[in-house]
Structure 1
Amino acid sequence: MSLMNEPATPDYLPMIEKQLQMSEQQGAVLRSLFEGIRQMRDDVNEKVEEVQIMVQEVRDSVVLNDHEAFMVRAAVHAKSVELTKDRFKDSDEKFNAVVGRHRRMIWSKLKDRFEVAKYSHVRRIDYQESIEFVQSFRPEDYI
């Protein structure tokens, strides 16, 4: 048999090469898309962290609301009376003066403890701690 009589075999190499080029182009596009998405994710994560830090800064700077300030005030009043009753009878003429001294001392030490000029400037995040401070207050600790 001669070569002339053989059926011509198609040349697949150019088609395969073209397909390979297209696959490489698609791969490059997909890589670029992937890198863009990765960068966007990283940017979003960074912004989320920044927002979380700002939110925490705001939370840390917010002071007691009216109800919380009222509750601190009530705790100071109750504690000053309790401390005075431990030492004097309600009928004693010095009772009110001693209540006042205890109250002033509690206010002074509370403001020192939380580094504020006014008790109402205690930060909200410190509210529970301020109540506990007042409730456990002992003048002996500061004399």
Structure 2
Amino acid sequence: MSTSMVEQNDFLTVVERQMQLTESQGIAIRGLVEGIRQMQLDVTEKVEEVQMMVQEVRDSVTLTDAERYQLQNAVHLKSNELTKHRYKESDEKFKDMVGRYRRMIWSKMKERFEVAKYSHIRRIDFDDALYFVQDFRPEDYI
């Protein structure tokens, strides 16, 4: 055999080995890419789970002291306002009626927000609770 034939055979052998190495590297890279894709899916799923858990915690947090104070103040103002529309402050029944309206507002608010104590109202419901008080009309419950 001539040296050019031997060189061609050696060259083809080298090229075939290089091709096999490239194919095995391609398979390894494909496996690596698939592993990364699966990891991304797993991470995305875990992030969504954590976000849901965080939202559950946020949704279950009750009113702060400042929010409770604002709500109490709103109920006091509303009960006084309702009483002044129906009675004179000099009337004997004025204080009694203020108390009745106050109890009625608290009672209906607890029913509306399904809590045993107004302080258990969730923070995310604070604006709704404040609006409930400000918009409260006893006629709606008689």
Question: TM-score range with shorter-chain normalisation?
Answer: over 0.9
Give the 3-state SS of the residue equivalent to 1:86 in structure 2: helix
- 1:35 paired with 2:40, answer no
Look up the equivalent residue of 2:52 and give its one-letter code.
Answer: I
CA distance in 2, matches of 1:137, 1:8: 102
**One-letter identity of the residue aligned with 1:100:** G
- In the alignment, structure 2 segments of 5+ residues that lack a partner are none
- Residues 106-127 of structure 1, C-alpha deviations (whole Å, 9 max, x = no match): 0000000000000000000000
- Tell me the CA shift for residue 139 of structure 1: 0.2
* Aligned residue number for residue 115 of structure 2: 116
Structure with a larger share of its residues in helix: 2
Greater alpha carbon shift after TM alignment, 117-126 vs 15-24? 15-24
Aligned to 2:49: 50
> What is the letter of the counterpart of residue 4 of structure 2?
A
Q: Which residue does the alignment assign to 1:16?
A: 15
| Correspondence for 1:26 | 25
Q: Find the aligned partners of 2:140 and 2:4 in 1 and give their Cα distance.
A: 106
Q: Measure the CA separation in 1 of the matches of 2:69 and 2:110.
A: 15
Tell me, yes or no, if structure 1 residue 75 matches structure 2 residue 74.
yes
Mark the runs of 5 or more structure 1 residues left unpaired by the alignment. none
Q: CA RMSD in A?
A: 1.4
Amino acid of the residue matched to residue 136 of structure 1? D
TM-score relative to the length of structure 1: 0.93
**Letter of the aligned partner of 1:121 in structure 2?**
H
- Residue in 2 aligned with 1:63? 62
User: Percentage identity across aligned positions?
Assistant: 62
What one-letter code is carried by the residue in structure 2 that aligns with 1:108?
S
Deviation above 3 Å: which 4+ runs of structure 1? none
**Paired residue total:** 139
